[in-house]
Chains A and B, each alone.
Chain A
Amino acid sequence: MANRTVSDAIAVHGTNPQYLIEKIIRTRIYESLYWKESCFGLTAETVIDRAIELTSIGGQYGNQRPTEFLALVLKLLQLQPAKEIIIEFIRQEDYKYLRALGVFYLRLAGTSLEIYQYLEPLLNDYRKMRQRLPSGDFDIICMDEFIDNLLREERVFDTILPRLAKRHVLEENDELPPRISALEDDLEDDLPE
Chain B
Amino acid sequence: MAARGGINAKGEAVPQPVKVQRYWPGRAPKGVKEYLSSEEEDEEEQHFEKQKETELITSTYQIEISEQEAASDRRLRRLREAKNAGHETSSRRRRHADEDTDEASRNIHKSEGIDDEDEDDITSRRQRLREHALEQRRIEEEQLKAQEEAEKARSEEQQTRKLLKPVFIPRAHRETILEKERLEKEAEEAEEKRLQALEERKKESHALVAEQIQKELTKTVDEETGKVEVDDTDGLDEQAEYEAWKLRELKRVYNDAEIFNDDLLFDFKSRENEREEIERRRQMSDEVRFKEDLERARKSREEKSKGKYRFLQKYYHKGAFYLDTDDKLFKRDYTEATPDEAAHKELLPKIMQVKNFGRAGQTKWTHLADQDTSTKDSPWRQKLKRTNNARDDIDRSRKRRTRDRN
Contact = CB atoms under 8 A, between A and B. Distances in A.
Interface of A: 55-56, 62, 123-124, 126-130, 136-140, 142, 144-145, 148, 168, 179, 181-183, 186-187
B224 A130 contact: no
A144 B221 contact: no
Interface in B215-236: 221, 224-225, 227, 229-230, 232-234
Contacts of A137: 224-225, 227
A130 B232 contact: yes
B33 interface: no
A130 B230 contact: yes
B276 interface: no
B130 interface: no
B232 A181 contact: no
A124 to B, nearest CB: 8
B227 to A, nearest CB: 8
Interface stretch (B69-77, B102-110, B138-146, B238-246): B238-246
Contacts of A123: 249, 252
A187 B253 CA distance: 10
Contacts of B252: 123, 148, 181
Contacts of A129: 232
Interface of B: 221, 224-225, 227, 229-230, 232-234, 241-242, 244-246, 248-250, 252-253, 256, 259, 271
Given A126-B242, A126-B245, A183 B250 contact: yes
Contacts of A62: 224
* B233, B242, B245, B246 pick with most chain A CB within 10 angstroms: B245
A31 B242 CA distance: 41
Contacts of A130: 230, 232
A127 B245 CA distance: 9
Q: At the interface, is chain B mostly helix, strand, loop or mixed? A: helix
Contacts of A179: 256
Contacts of B229: 138
A55 B245 CA distance: 22
28 contacts: A56-B232, A62-B224, A123-B249, A124-B245, A126-B242, A126-B245, A128-B232, A128-B233, A128-B241, A130-B230, A136-B224, A136-B225, A137-B224, A137-B225, A138-B221, A138-B225, A138-B229, A139-B230, A142-B241, A142-B248, A144-B249, A145-B248, A148-B248, A168-B259, A181-B252, A183-B246, A187-B250, A187-B253
Given A142-B248, A168-B271, A179-B256, 19 more contacts: A55-B232, A126-B241, A126-B242, A126-B244, A126-B245, A126-B248, A128-B232, A128-B234, A130-B230, A130-B232, A137-B224, A140-B230, A140-B232, A142-B244, A145-B248, A148-B248, A148-B252, A168-B259, A181-B252
Contacts of B245: 124, 126, 142, 144
A183 B249 contact: yes
B299 to A, nearest CB: 28
A161 to B, nearest CB: 17
B225 A144 contact: no
A182 B232 contact: no
B399 to A, nearest CB: 75
Contacts of B271: 168
